Amino acid sequence: MAIPLRDNMLVVKDLRKSFGGVKAVDGVSFDVPRGTITGLIGPNGAGKSTVVNSLSGFHGVDGGSVMFDGTDITNWPSHKVAQRGLIRTFQLARELRSLTVFENMLLASNDQPGQTSWQALFLRKKIRDSERDLLGKAVDLLKRFNLFHVRDEYAGNLSGGQKKLLDLARALMADPRLMLLDEPMAGVNPTLAGQLQEHIRDLKDEKGITFLLIEHNLRIVESLCNHVVVMAEGTILAEGNMSALRENENVVRAYLGG
């Protein structure tokens, strides 16, 4: 059988992870083609977040492999995965409370001088210059995500929706090639959620960022993703485009039917 020639940003093979007795992810394989927005859906507790946590090095896996843009990143620590350009956001926004919105943004950039103690002591001019450039970049993103007016606010003082937006904006500061978004629109008001969808689409088109998107709202998934992976109870139930999935009996029974 011929293997379809497809350029995959992410190839997940037989991923396994259990917590005590709970097999949260039990042999999951799927691909994320480059330059797409791939959806990952499934009922509560299906193991979607666990997949994201495993891919991003948040915790080790019990088995399987993860290829990211041709590199085997299985069991790599978070920071190495992130430095490669795979950035994840969190289902429950995790803002850095006592850093301001601007500081949250500046933090995310990984190619700025002054990140080591020696540079902090001896490259002060360089740091000032790069900081200015980064601030410019941050301003653009903050405006895009309606956060510009709270730029000097402590992140801990933002509303729940704003925190989710900041999580996303911050991740973009790191210049990701692949983003794992864990329910980015949950808790964001509907108007903003609509804008967010546009942003995601734009980022894909303009910057060529690839996305793996976890989302419960199937209408959003349908409009954004041409390729969707369905999980249930730690395994892959089906894969394909949304309209095909709606026809799939298993999927309807386990998920869509409720």
Ligand X SMILES: Nc1ncnc2c1ncn2[C@@H]1O[C@H](COP(=O)(O)OP(=O)(O)OP(=O)(O)O)[C@@H](O)[C@H]1O
* Contact flag: residue 49 with ligand X (CB under 6 A): yes
Considering beta carbons, is residue 58 or 154 the nearer one to Mg ion?
58
Residue 99: how many CB atoms within 10 A of its CB? 15
β-pairing verdict for 8-19 and 63-68: antiparallel
Q: Whole-angstrom Cα distance, residue 164 to residue 159?
A: 9
Q: How far is the CB of 211 from ligand X (least distance, A)?
A: 17
Helix (H) or strand (E) holding 228: strand 227-232
Strand order in the sheet with 22-33: 22-33, 8-19, 63-68, 71-72
User: Which of ligand X, Mg ion, other proteins, none does residue 46 bind to, with CB < 5 to 8 Å depending on kind?
Assistant: ligand X
Angle at alpha carbon of residue 38, lines to 5 and 69, rounded to 5°: 50
What are residue 100's DSSP bridge partners?
A: 154
Contact set with other proteins (CB under 8 A): 18-20, 56-58, 77-79, 82-83, 87-88, 90, 94, 96-100, 102-103, 106-108, 110, 112-117, 119-121, 124, 127, 131-133, 135-136, 139, 146, 148-149, 151-152, 154, 170-171, 174
Considering beta carbons, is residue 69 or 233 the nearer one to ligand X?
233
User: Which of other proteins, Mg ion, ligand X, none does residue 44 bind to, with CB < 5 to 8 Å depending on kind?
Assistant: ligand X
Q: How far is the CB of 243 from ligand X (least distance, A)?
A: 23
Q: How far is the CB of 47 from ligand X (least distance, A)?
A: 4
Q: Whole-angstrom Cα distance, residue 217 to residue 219?
A: 6
φ, ψ for residue 88, nearest 5 deg: -115, 155
Interface contacts to ligand X, rule CB under 6 A: 19, 22, 24, 42, 44-50, 91
